[in-house]
Amino acid sequence: MLITDHLRDHRGGSFPEHVRHAVRPSEPRVLIADDQSDVLEALRLLLKAEGFQLETASSPAGVLAATEAREFDVALIDLNYARDTTSGEEGLNLLSRIQAVDPTLPVVVMTAWGSVEVAVEAMRRGARDFIQKPWDNARLLAIIRTQIELSQALRKGQRLEAENSLLRGEGMPKLIAESSSMQTVLQVIARVGPSDANVLVSGENGTGKGVVARALHAVSSRASRPMVIVNSGGVSEGVFESELFGHVRGAFTDAKTDRVGRFELADQGTLFLDEIANVPLSQQAKLLRVIETGEFERLGSSRTRRVDVRIISATNADLGEEVAGARFRQDLLFRLNTIEIRLPSLRDRREDLPLLAQHFLRQHAQRYRKRVTGFESGALQMLLEHPWPGNVRELDHATERAVLMTQGPLIKAADLGLRTGRDSGGRLEDMSLEEVECFLIKKAMTRFDGNVSQAAKALGLSRSALYRRLQRYGL
């Protein structure tokens, strides 16, 4: 049974029809800056009556402190603050500094000493519009609303662009599960998926942890929002904070523009942290904080941001042992595994193997436009006898190879390229370089029970280098 069918069967029972969340927009936040209290009060009364959230400042320092601490939809700032100053230079300098803090923030400038020259200079330095005192209420409100709409569209566009740059699975995933052990997994997905509970998916490499994560997201109320994937094992410690939380321009040498982090991209959706055991210990406290509070700062910024994210994580390691070895924080583990789903290995669910193989065969035959319809009995017997250390992922790669190699409508045993028990004891000198490398990696992964960090250390490789080889060999 595919997970799509299983979950469809439960729609009338254990959980409700899929609900698309309409996120209620918050009131626009406006920053007003002027050195005259009566002006601030008049603007506050006008804008508050229109339903805006307001914050006021009476000096350039106050404006900068506010923009560094919070995000605004528009700023309305005076150009003159010091007594007897009419040049507008203070406001023009402040405008440039605001643009450095938040290039997406629209700024509308105002002054009682308006002139064409000052207006042109203000627009040159990034102002979106210009208001002269005393202002016309209708015109001021129209400008504020227009700039709020433009800023929200700009920020949404940046977020969508960043989302589209990520490769992530779309739609309901297919999880074939006829075995009793996998039926239990499907039942947990059906019960837990619609909730916002954090879920830890554990199991050997290649057992389908990512597919389960996508299934959990697909049946949740967040399904219309993004599921953002982070391969924790493939992110080096030096860039981990920037990847998850983003950075601002100038935060480090190569930070030439602001960058949205994965937590922001996943706001109102799901963040899938794959290989969670490989998160550097030095970064685990920061990860714990955002999971507990929903708050974080981009690298190089002091502005606190908030997100609403569901966390699904996955690992092939024993996190209990990692905690005992002081390599993983216990409080972080408690936050991650509100519910734990343990996936069986393929050798423990062999009744699913023919169905899985036929599913992959159809996929790859369609992809490569080959008329391949099934397996010869010898090939099917070899599939059933193979130990599958790489689990479902290895089966997928073996089936893809067989579809490419076969010359007829049925796949033969030789097309699979699998080593039998006799072959596995062959001499190293009879193997190709790639076969030797694959053989040694398999042995190391078996020796360390699938722990990538320990296997990489034993092989003299970095984690990321071993991950690349595991992918290359379908392990």
359: CATH: 1.10.8.60
Q: What pLDDT sits at residue 14? A: 36
The total number of structural domains that make up the chain: 4
Question: 79's torsion region: left (phi>0), alpha (psi -120 to 50) or beta?
Answer: alpha
Report whether 240 contacts 287 (CB < 8 A): no
Q: Is residue 24 in some structural domain? A: no
* 222: three-class secondary structure by DSSP: coil
Question: How far is the C-alpha of 386 from the C-alpha of 383, rounded, in Å?
Answer: 5
Q: In angstroms, rounded to a whole number, what is the distance separating the alpha carbons of residues 416 and 401?
A: 6
Q: Which pLDDT does position 169 carry in this prediction?
A: 41
pLDDT of amino acid 165: 46
Which residues neighbour 265 within 8 Å (Cβ) at sequence distance 6 or greater? 159, 162, 163, 166, 226, 228
Shared domain check, 383 and 270: no
Which of 127, 130, 34 shows the shortest CA–CA distance to 82? Answer: 34
Q: Which one of 304, 326, 342 terminates a domain? A: 342
* Residue range(s) defining the domain that contains residue 256: 3-17+167-342
The reply to whether 211 and 335 lie within a common domain is yes
Specify if 470 maps to a domain: yes
Instruction: Write down the pLDDT at residue 104.
Output: 78
User: What is the pLDDT, as a whole number, of residue 78?
Assistant: 84
Return the percent helix, strand and coil in the chain, to nearest 5: 50, 15, 35
Residue 89 belongs to a domain: yes
Say if residue 226 is in the same domain as residue 315.
Answer: yes
**41 in a structural domain:** yes
The tokens describing 9, both together, are: 């069967």
Residue 242: inside a domain = yes
357 CB-contact burial (10 Å; exposed 0-12 / middle 13-18 / buried 19+): buried
Q: Which long-range contacts (CB under 8 A, 24 or more apart) does 232-237 make?
A: 232/273, 232/274, 232/275, 232/276, 232/277, 232/278, 232/279, 233/274, 233/275, 233/278, 233/452, 233/463, 233/464, 233/467, 234/275, 234/463, 234/464, 234/467, 236/464, 237/280, 237/282, 237/283
One domain, residues 323 and 360: no
The four Cα atoms 217, 219, 225, 227 give a dihedral, to 10 degrees, of 20
Pair 195, 313 in one domain = yes
Together in a domain, 259 and 385: no
> Are 338 and 191 in contact, with CB atoms under 8 Å apart?
no
Report the alpha-carbon distance of residue 205 to residue 114 in Å, rounded.
67
Among candidate residues 163, 190, 213, the one where a domain is terminated: 163
Residue 56 lies in a domain: yes
Amino acid at 22: A
Give the model's pLDDT for residue 161: 56
Residue 329 lies in a domain: yes
Whether 215 and 266 share a structural domain: yes
State in Å, rounded, how far the first CA of the chain is from the last one.
Answer: 25
Q: Which of 140, 163, 186 is the last residue of a domain?
A: 163
Mean pLDDT by 10 residues, the chain (475 residues): 42 34 57 87 88 87 85 85 65 81 82 68 80 85 86 68 46 71 90 93 92 92 89 80 87 80 92 92 92 91 90 93 92 94 92 91 92 90 89 92 91 84 49 72 78 82 79 70
- Asked whether residue 200 falls in the same domain as residue 302, the answer is yes
CATH code of residue 266: 3.40.50.300
φ and ψ of 201, to 5 deg: -105, 120
Residue 22 lies in a domain: no
CATH number of the domain that residue 143 is part of = 3.40.50.2300
Token pair belonging to 229: 């994937």
- For residue 450, the model assigns a pLDDT of 75
Looking at residue 178, its pLDDT comes to 83
Q: What is the pLDDT of residue 336?
A: 94
Q: CA angle at residue 107 from 106 to 113, to 5 degrees?
A: 155
What the block records as the tokens of 125 is 């330095």
Do 122 and 212 fall within a single domain?
A: no
The runs of H, that is alpha helices, within 87-134 are 89-101, 116-124
Are 171 and 158 in the same domain? no
The answer to whether 74 touches 53, Cβ cutoff 8 Å, is no
Q: Which of 201, 274, 270 is nearest to 234 (CA)?
A: 274
53 & 114 share domain: yes
- Both 370 and 428 in one domain: the answer is no
- Which residue's entry shows tokens 């924790």? 232
